[in-house]
Amino acid sequence: MADPPARVVVLDHGSGNVRSVVRALEAVGAEVQLTADRTAALEADGLVVPGVGAFAATVQQIRAVGGDRIVETRLAGGRPVLGICVGLQVMFDAGDEHGERSTGLGQWPGEITRLMADVVPHMGWNTVDAPTGTALLDGIQAERFYFVHSYAARTWELDAVGPLEPPLVTWAEHGGDRFIAAVENGALMATQFHPEKSGEAGARLLRNWLGTLPRYGRAEASA
């Protein structure tokens, strides 16, 4: 019997138009709820943390609804989380915007800094350099994805720990500046680009992510 649809919560923390994320996930077969309810967010098969705009404001909004604790609790239990755009950036230790340093959620070491390119923001379609073994970008490594950002993680500082699988990092380049386009680190995955705005390639990425999700508390549905 086929797996039941994945239940996904998109964290509603007030950052930008997240309806496109909800619609994109529904279009690839997920049951989606847009909410900041702690119980719903913890019990979902997957949690999506979107974000647009400024690093500091997004972190503040996430913390205001308890999203930082939700993310920590899910990851402590190995429950999947997907960050999108600034939702990737806030997973790092800090962001430096306009000379002001803000503390992030601290899931990954490193700092978000301004792109060193002649044209900023980086806006439009771009290819990525995906690693061998990627699950998120399986079958779409050569496709183009839609980016809109002025800041990025430009180094990766987390090595493999003990028997854990090493993180997989996807890179992209804009104006000669190389930056992180996606990360797959156990239960925590994230993209700097917008899969919900990336056409069929983005839809395939979301399907790939849904395919990695365990179906929590669903044994009775598949029995």
Task: Write down the pLDDT at residue 161.
Answer: 66
Least confident of 12-16, 88-92, 100-104, 110-114: 12-16
Token pair, residue 44, equals 């979902």
Write the CATH number of the domain with boundaries 7-218.
Answer: 3.40.50.880
* Catalytic residue positions, numbered: 85, 194, 196
Could you give the CA distance from residue 166 to residue 64 in angstroms, rounded to a whole number? 32
Q: What is the pLDDT of residues 98-149, one digit of tens each?
A: 888 999 999 999 999 999 999 999 999 999 999 999 999 999 999 999 999 9
52 vs 42, residue with greater confidence: 42
* pLDDT tens per residue, range 51-74: 998 999 999 999 999 999 999 999
pLDDT score recorded for residue 15: 76
Predicted TM-score of the model (pTM): 0.95
At 32 the pLDDT is: 98
Which pLDDT band, with edges at 50, 70 and 90, does 159 fall under? Answer: confident
Q: Is the pLDDT of residue 222 over 70?
A: no
| DSSP sequence for the chain | -PPPPPEEEEE-SS-S--HHHHHHHHHTT-EEEEE--HHHHHHSSEEEE---S-HHHHHHHHHHTTHHHHHHHHHHTT--EEEETHHHHTTEEEEEETTEEEE---SEEEEEEE--SSS-SEEEEEE-BPPTT-STTTT-TT-EEEEEESEEE----PPP-TTSPPPEEEEEEETTEEEEEEEEETTEEEESS-GGGSHHHHHHHHHHHHHT---TT-HHHH-
Mean per-residue pLDDT, 169-175: 98
- pLDDT bin (cut points 50, 70, 90) of residue 220 is very low
Q: How far apart are CA 180 and CA 192, in angstroms?
A: 7
What confidence score (pLDDT) does residue 221 get? 42
Residues comprising the chain, all counted: 223
pLDDT bin (cut points 50, 70, 90) of residue 27 is very high
Q: What is the mean pLDDT of residues 32-58?
A: 96
Q: What is the mean pLDDT of the chain?
A: 94
